[in-house]
Chain A
Amino acid sequence: MMKKKIGRTGSALLMVVLTTLTVALSGCSSDKAGDSAKVETGAETGTDTVTSTETAASTETTDDLSKLTVGIPQDIDGLDPHNSTGAGTREVFYNIFEGLVKADSDGNLNPAVASEYTISEDSKVYTFTLRDGIKFHDGSDVTVEDIKYSLERNMGVDGSEPLIKAYGKIDSVNVLDDSHVEVVLKDADSDFLTQLTVAIIPAANEHPETTPIGTGPYKYVSNSPQENFVVTRFDDYWGEKAYIKDVVFKIEANMDAIVLDLEGGSIDMMARVTPTQVAQLSDKFEVYEGTMNLVQALYLNNAVKPFDDVKVRQALCYAVNPQEIMDFVSEGAGTEVGSAMFPAFSKYYMPELNDTYNTDVDKAKALLAEAGYPNGFEFTITVPSNYGQHVDTAQVISEELKAIGVTANIQEIEWNSWVSDVYSGREYEATVVGIDASTLSASALLSRYVSDNGKNFVNFNSADFDAAYANASAATDDAEKTKYYKECETILSQEAASVYIQDLPEFVVLNKKFTGYVFYPLYVQDIAKIRPAQ
């Protein structure tokens, strides 16, 4: 048995999955939210540069700094943490619920409900020690039975399907004594700890769907659909207590009114604000810049004509200029990507692939002519209408493609239609979305390009890629694994699986009355770290 303290696991082993049931493209709001298609995880925190202009000029001395109002773009979709899948819900629940382990802003797994753990040498038995004196929000003590109950609930004990696919791997959860629980796996899995961030909730609570009780730094007060979600500081929290007493998550139905609402004072903080909105803000606000950790691309359906011809796909890559898109859509912010990997995965990201196709209209035309389309062709880009940045990107692409005689029509569709037609049905020619990783592993981004993968909605089909991916999966040595993943990325780039564009910038706006916003490599808003500015 090797014994180690949690929290020392080191950021190299960032295989964190905060949320196991990650909905990579979890559909957020239905309204015209200006944010980009979800973000899930990432390996590093992006660049936390702070752009702000001088002077806080705190004129409102009477302001109540014990209350923070945070705008969120969509409703909380259910109060039961095990049954809520919306990325927007989980970013709020991070403050209320905790698992046995919990991710921090560097991507490490820290102790939460458990105070330490051991993993058996065959990686099949995980044993946890319950943190001494930890309490639920209702004042009751957390017991090992609660842990067993919470994990088994996700396993779907009475013959039903597991709520989290990976929990199908659990053979049993056994209570050893008053302070120890072991999780026994059917097969060895040295990364299973990443799945154990699932919320621990009291077994005694009969209605988790209406009365959410957790162990986090904030406790639930009330939820009013389409209006707000209110929490208050949990004073018996085991760890570092939150600074701000009352926090209201206010649903902002109208993303176009964000600037008005921030300036007017009805919200103090808003994440995923667009660069244009940032440009309109006064100096009352501090703007934190990070990245969304996703791969935005013009995804091409490799199974339909003319995109079944690699030359056509390459021609589009030569014609589309990512920098120009960033200039138009996000005032030049954003990070170019040349393959299906975003920069936060620094270990796997290959900046050199950005240069596989440097904008070259003549070359693009030549390739089109070789492919038999000397006069170009016409196709349709299908974009989910609720993601303004993707719609704008599609417009820029359409304009750029005119230069090589290709006509790209834009078809906006509702998010649900996008899911059923494009993502599940694969009935489309091209689409612009952002794809994120559901775990902090390169496979989360690359597995979908394996030809028979169920999520391969671009219908990419390459024997070389399949072989390289299989090698990566089989490899046990980290360096070797990384080498094969990089090979995968290179193949995607050379074969022009899609037209890779950028990792979108993320802007978080916080009223200067407050400070301390921290980016996470995960989709969370850690409100407990925010404090009043002096």
Chain B
Amino acid sequence: MNNSKLKKLLKNPYVFIGGIIMGLILLMIIVGFFWMPYEPTKMSASEKLQGISLRHIMGTDNMGRDVFSRVMYGSRVTLMIAIGTIIIGAGVGTIIGSITGYYGGMIDEVTMRVIDALFAFPSILLALVIVSVFGVGWPQLVISLGIAFVPSFARIVRGEVLRCKNMDYIENARLQGVSDFRMIFLHILPNIKGVLASSILIGFNNAVLAEAGLSYLGVGSQPPYASLGRMLSDAQQYMFTRPSYVLCPGIVIVLMVLGFAFLGEGIKRWK
């Protein structure tokens, strides 16, 4: 990456805004590892459902816990769930997509049918199955969301591999006797990294949103260490009495997704 390109990237308003948002959220998460205003699980009967104040900058929840500390912790949980989901979804999806796309034939036919089937299988049901068997928790959530994300990555990668497979340079490499493994991972995949990168950023957003949805349906992360989605869904019944409790985690989720989206948009425009 040369200097002028980098400068151009940084001048891009999307990257700029997205970077600032993500930077703030990351800062909050990293600081949270070392210091939080309060223990996020510390309850206080005398300070339930307080509004925004200097003492509690995002107020307190129904157990008198400091919402800001919980948001700091919850952002960490949410981010880890999103990262885990993408590692599984994009990792497995890319492998399946490139193999089926590259070899074609029966492998392709059978795998794509399974992928279709998975696509038609509601992810909530998948999550319920996994959660019922292994219990509620974030690793289970990551696995079920990850599996649910595999089909879309597999499809995207397969399509791209199909497109690249017949390009001249691949043909050349093949004539030179490059092994299939090297071919897929060293020649084809680098060529589609752009598409993959933007899919991954979109995937991050979808993972954050899907986690919130599953939390709402009661299969999200477990208390007392709640993810942002879980906090939001727990908080909704206090919409009347303490809107700040609902809005704070809500706004942080929106910002997190926006940050990813702006970065993705910026990178796309920069190319």
Given the interface pairs A256-B236, A276-B62, A276-B238, the reply to whether A410 lies near B223 with Cβ below 8 Å is: yes
Q: Which chain A residues lie closer than 8 Å to B222 at the CB level?
A: 410-412
Contact at B237–A276, with CB atoms within 8 Å?
Answer: yes
A241 beta carbon closer than 8 Å to chain B:
no
Q: Please name all residues of chain A whose beta carbon is closer than 8 Å to the beta carbon of B131 when the two chains form the complex.
A: 413-414
CA distance in complex: A443, B224 (Å)? 36
Q: Are B135 and A411 in touch, CB under 8 angstroms?
A: yes
Determine if B136 is an interface residue (Cβ-Cβ < 8 Å).
Answer: yes
Name the B residues within 8 Å of A328 (CB-CB): 43, 45, 48, 63-64
Look across to chain A and name the residue whose beta carbon is closest to the beta carbon of B222: A412
Q: How far is the CA of A34 from the CA of B238 in the complex (A)?
A: 14
Task: Point out the residues of chain A lying under 8 angstroms from B63, CB to CB.
Answer: 328, 392, 395-396
Contact between A413 and B135, CB atoms less than 8 A apart: yes
Contact residues in B for A154 (Cβ distance below 8 Å): none
Which residue of chain A has the shortest Cβ distance to B237 in the bound complex?
A: A256
B248 lies within 8 A of chain A by Cβ: no
Distance to closest chain B CB from A68 (angstroms): 24
Chain A residues closer than 8 Å to B136, beta-carbon distance: 385, 411-414
Q: Say how far B183's CB is from chain A's closest CB, in angstroms.
A: 46
A470 to chain B, nearest CB (A): 38
Decide if B191 is an interface residue (CB 8 Å cutoff): no
> Residues 164-194 of chain A: 1 if any B CB is under 8 Å from the residue's CB, otherwise 0?
0000000000000000000000000000000
Q: Which of B101-156 contact A (CB under 8 A)?
A: 128, 131-132, 135-137
Report how far A443 CA is from B150 CA in the complex, Å.
54
How far, in whole Å, are A516 and B63 apart by their CA atoms in the complex?
34
Give every chain B residue within 8 A of A391 (Cβ-Cβ): 223
* CB-based contact B218/A396 at 8 Å: no
Q: Does any Cβ of B come within 8 Å of A259's Cβ?
A: yes
Q: In residues 362-404 of chain A, which contact B (Cβ within 8 Å)?
A: 385-386, 391-392, 394-396, 398-399
Given A31-B218, A256-B236, A395-B223, does the pair A280, B241 have CB atoms closer than 8 Å? yes
Output the least CB separation between B152 and chain A (Å): 27
Which residue numbers of A lie inside 8 Å of B, CB to CB?
31-32, 34, 256-257, 259, 276-277, 279-280, 324, 327-328, 385-386, 391-392, 394-396, 398-399, 410-414, 416-417
User: Chain B: residues with CB nearer than 8 A to chain A?
Assistant: 41-43, 45, 48, 62-64, 128, 131-132, 135-137, 217-219, 222-224, 233, 236-238, 240-241
Q: 18 more A-B contacts (CB under 8 A) besides A395-B223, A399-B224, A411-B135?
A: A32-B218, A256-B237, A259-B237, A276-B62, A276-B237, A280-B240, A327-B45, A328-B45, A396-B43, A399-B42, A399-B43, A410-B224, A411-B137, A412-B222, A412-B223, A414-B131, A414-B219, A417-B132
The 3 tightest CB contacts between A and B, nearest first, are A256-B237, A412-B136, A327-B45
